[in-house]
Structure 1
């Protein structure tokens, strides 16, 4: 006896949001109680930046996707209630950023998102 599948995660909405610089489109993929953890040179693993709920996540996404830079979804893998993807970005001055994300889903919405990012210095 099979089990019913929940709503599917919309990978094309993820691509459109990232590559179209649409914080609103990306925010629509998150559950109300989602949490995002960011680890990078400034917010290292023992003290990551943590955003709780759609309000704080919206502020972060609005900041990132309002910047003058390109964003490209490189790879995206969905396996049940988990999504992994890489995103490459570039500022007009040539500085590059590479980000890798692992996300957990509930009912097709992101509930937990860990983002690792590095950039040219």
Structure 2
């Protein structure tokens, strides 16, 4: 079994808007797929590698909004968590993520998110 995943870094990074700490959890060649109203399952938004992932994390965690990890489950080389977010105007976002790990680093993540409309 590889290195253990640091769920506390995930929680702290999300809740304190620390994109750099979050990026440290990803493997160099990681991939993220995001499914939402604009990026539907047949055409998800896909980010490859730390460069693209870093830009996405900087954007999301640089926004004026709150982020809270509601649940996080780590089992062997799989992590699942839910994240609730709220913008200052009251608009809420709920995201659910499923991640695969290798040597304690995220190699694959699928995010399904829903926004208030």
Q: Say whether the fold is shared (TM-score over 0.5).
A: yes
Q: Which of 62, 74, 80 lines up with 1:78 in the alignment?
A: 74
> Which 5+ residue runs of structure 2 have no aligned equivalent?
none
1:104 counterpart = 2:89? no
1:13 counterpart = 2:9? yes
User: Displacement of 1:77 after TM fit?
Assistant: 0.3
TM-score after normalising by structure 2: 0.99
TM-score after normalising by structure 1: 0.96
Please report the RMSD computed on the Cα atoms of aligned residues, expressed in angstroms: 0.4
Q: Counterparts of 1:53 and 1:17 in 2: how far apart (Å)?
A: 19
Aligned to 1:55, the other structure's residue is in SS state helix
Structure 1 runs, 4 residues or longer, greater than 4 Å off? none
Q: Counterparts of 1:39 and 1:115 in 2: how far apart (Å)?
A: 6
Matches within 5 A, 1:42-61: 42-61=38-57
